[in-house]
Structure 1
Amino acid sequence: MAAKDDLGRAGEQRAADHLIAGGYRIIDRNWRCSQGEVDIVAIRDDVLAVVEVKTRRSLAYGHPLEAIDDRKAARLWRLSAAWIAAHPDEARGRRLRLDAIAVTGVDPATGDLEHWEDAL
C-alpha cells in the first residue's frame, strides 16, 4: 500500500473521530458507485452531511481544500444524490449538506484539522 493511501486513510479516520466527538453519527464510509466515492456520510440532528476529506503532509502545494475545484464540487453533489437514491430511509426528512475536512501535518493524528460545514 502506498504511503499516500496510508496518509489518506489516517486523515479520514481523524475526520471521522472529529465528527463523532462533535455529535455526528457516521453511517457510511468510502461508499462507492460508478460515479466515484464518498469519503464519509454522517448524521447529526436533521442534517445529512456528506463529507469530503483532504489530507496533506504540508501546505507546500497549497491548502488541502484548494483541491476541491468547481468540477470536483459538482461531482460531490452528484455522488450525494446517488448515495441518497441508494439509501432513502437514512436520508428521509434530513437536509443534505456538503462539508469538507482538511487535515494537514506529517502525522494526521496530531496535525491541524479544519471542518468547513456547508462548504460546497
Structure 2
Amino acid sequence: MAQHNELGKKGEQIAIEFLIEKGYSILEKNYRYLKAEVDIIAQKADVLAVVEVKTRSTDYFGNPEEFVNPKKIKLLISAIDNYVVEKDLDVEVRFDIIAIIHKKEITIEHLKDAFLHF
C-alpha cells in the first residue's frame, strides 16, 4: 500500500477514536455510493455527522481541510442523500471535516458544519 494511503487509513482510525471519545456512534466507515465515498457517518443524538477526514504529514502545502473541493462536496451530498433515504432516517444532517496533521505529534481539528464556509 502506498505511504499516503497508509497515512489516510491511520487518519481515519484516529478520527473514529476521536469521535467515539466525543460521544458519537459510528454508523458507517467508507460508505460508497456511485462515485462518492464518505469516510465516516456518525450519529450523536439526532444529528447525523457526515465526516470527511483529511490527513497530512505536514501543513507545508496548506491545512488539510483546504483539500476538500466543490466536486467532493457535491459527491458527498448526493451520497448522504441516498443514505438517509435508504435507511429511512429522520435526522439533522451536518457535514464535518476532521483535519489531522500527523507529524511527531498528532494535531486534530474538528470543523463542524464545514461546508457552510465554502
Asked if Structure 1 and Structure 2 have the same fold, meaning a TM-score greater than 0.5 normalized by the shorter chain, the answer is yes
Amino acid at match of 2:77: W
Per the alignment, residue 86 of structure 1 pairs with 86
TM-score (norm 1): 0.89
TM-score (norm 2): 0.91
Which ranges in structure 1 are unaligned for 5 or more consecutive residues?
none
Per the alignment, residue 44 of structure 1 pairs with 44
Per the alignment, residue 25 of structure 1 pairs with 25
Which ranges in structure 2 are unaligned for 5 or more consecutive residues?
none
Q: Which stretch of the first structure deviates more once superposed, 13-22 or 76-85?
A: 76-85
The CA deviation at 1:33 is 2.0
Per the alignment, residue 118 of structure 1 pairs with 113
C-alpha distance in 1 between matches for 2:75 and 2:33: 12
C-alpha distance in 2 between matches for 1:19 and 1:104: 16
The CA deviation at 1:69 is 2.1
Percent identical residues: 38
The CA deviation at 1:105 is 1.9
Per the alignment, residue 104 of structure 1 pairs with 101
C-alpha distance in 1 between matches for 2:94 and 2:66: 19
- The alignment status of 1:59 with 2:59, answered yes or no, reads yes
Amino acid at match of 1:75: L
**SS at 2:114's partner residue?**
coil
C-alpha distance in 2 between matches for 1:111 and 1:20: 17
Please report the RMSD computed on the Cα atoms of aligned residues, expressed in angstroms. Answer: 1.3
**SS at 1:62's partner residue?**
coil
- The alignment status of 1:68 with 2:89, answered yes or no, reads no
Moved over 4 A (4+): none
The CA deviation at 1:102 is 0.3
